[in-house]
Each structure stands twice: as C-alpha cells, then as structure tokens.
Amino acid sequence: MTLEITNATMNDLPAIVRIERLGFTVEEAGSEESFAERIKKIADTFLVAKLDQQVVGFVVGPAVKEQFVTDEMYEHTPENLPTGGHQLILSIATDPAYRGRGIGSRLLDALTELSIKHRREDLSLDTLTKNVPFYEANGFKQVGISASTHAGETWYNMVKPLN
C-alpha cells in the first residue's frame, strides 16, 4: 500500500469529519460546516493522506499574515495569501487505526514542501501539552502559551521556521 497525499475535495468530507471526531473532544473538533468551508476556501492548503483511496489522515490551515491561529479562524476560514505569510495549521489528524505509521509526519512534510514553494515564513499551530513532543520531532519549537481559549483548554504556540 502506497500513501498518497492530495488536496482535499468535497468527496473526502465525510471521512475528514469522522477522523476529526475520533481525534478530538466534542469541544475541540471542527464541525462539518467548518470543514466544508475550508475545502471551498483553502483546498490548496488542505491535504489528505490516502491508502487504497481511503482517507486515513489530513492537515489543514490557511496561509495568512498573522503568525498564530486565532479562535475566530476555527469558525471563519480566512483566504490564503498567494505567496508569503505564515502557514497555519488549524487541524491535523490521523485515523486511530493508522496511527504510528508516520502519516502525520508525512502530512507535515508535504505541507512544509508546499509552504516553501509558496515562500511562507514558517508553519505555526496551537497544540496541547501531550502533543508537543510529536511536533518537536517534526521541527517545531514551542514559543509560548497561545491566546486561544478554544474548547477551554491551554494551548501552546509552536512554530517551524522555513528559512
């Protein structure tokens, strides 16, 4: 089985929502409507990983002037800048049945390559303490506590410089 990474389409939406709900609490998880809006507005930075045509993971986020995710972005997806700016990650998730196979890292690698191609300054995301080691292993550095109050959690800003 070969892992294929492509841009998300509306046909992928049910699998994306299912994986999101398996990976996050009800409070943390994005809605089907939010993911549909992301596919419509930022499909060029919405990547899915597929094995045998089945979506097993995804990563999504806008490329914007702001360096960090804001809570507003979870509800209303900003448009991507054509070049430059910061590549944010709103969500990354792998189907639990496929975890431990490097799929999340492969998705981050693909988004990194895409970001370099479009001359982004860095990749940036918010994460919970339990996920910090995964992101550090993928080149991200913790740079402080996020201003986010999403889902009532404490989030940490992590950045992966690209230059």
pLDDT tens for 24-81 read 988 899 999 999 999 999 999 999 999 999 999 999 999 999 999 999 999 899 999 9
Cβ contacts of residue 11 below 8 Å, gap of 6+? none
Residue 40: its pLDDT value, please? 97
* Residue 88 bridge partners (DSSP): 124
Residue 62: its pLDDT value, please? 98
Q: What's the rounded mean pLDDT across residues 126-155?
A: 95
Residue 12: its pLDDT value, please? 98
Take residue 4 and report the two structure tokens written for it.
């294929």
What total of structural domains would you count in the chain? 1
Q: In what helix (H) or strand (E) does residue 49 lie, and over which residues does it extend?
A: strand 46-51
Kindly tell me if the per-residue pLDDT of 96 is higher than 80.
yes
Q: What's the rounded mean pLDDT across residues 102-128?
A: 98
Q: What's the rounded mean pLDDT across residues 98-114?
A: 97
Taking alpha carbons only, the member of 49, 46, 63, 60 closest to residue 7 is: 46
Coil, helix or strand at residue 10: helix
Residue 163: its pLDDT value, please? 76
Take residue 82 and report the two structure tokens written for it.
């054509």
Q: How far apart are alpha carbons 19 and 99 in whole angstroms?
A: 11
Phi, psi of 156 (to 5 degrees): -120, 130
Cβ contacts of residue 148 below 8 Å, gap of 6+? 69, 70, 71, 126, 155
Q: Which residue range(s) make up the domain with 81? A: 3-161
Q: What's the rounded mean pLDDT across residues 88-93?
A: 97
Taking alpha carbons only, the member of 40, 2, 41, 36 closest to residue 16 is: 36
Query: What is each CA distance from 157 to 79, 99, 129, 133, 153, in whole angstroms?
Result: 21, 23, 10, 13, 13
Looking up residue 143, the CATH number of its domain turns out to be 3.40.630.30
Kindly tell me if the per-residue pLDDT of 1 is higher than 80.
no
Q: How far apart are alpha carbons 144 and 154 in whole angstroms?
A: 11
Kindly tell me if the per-residue pLDDT of 145 is higher than 80.
yes
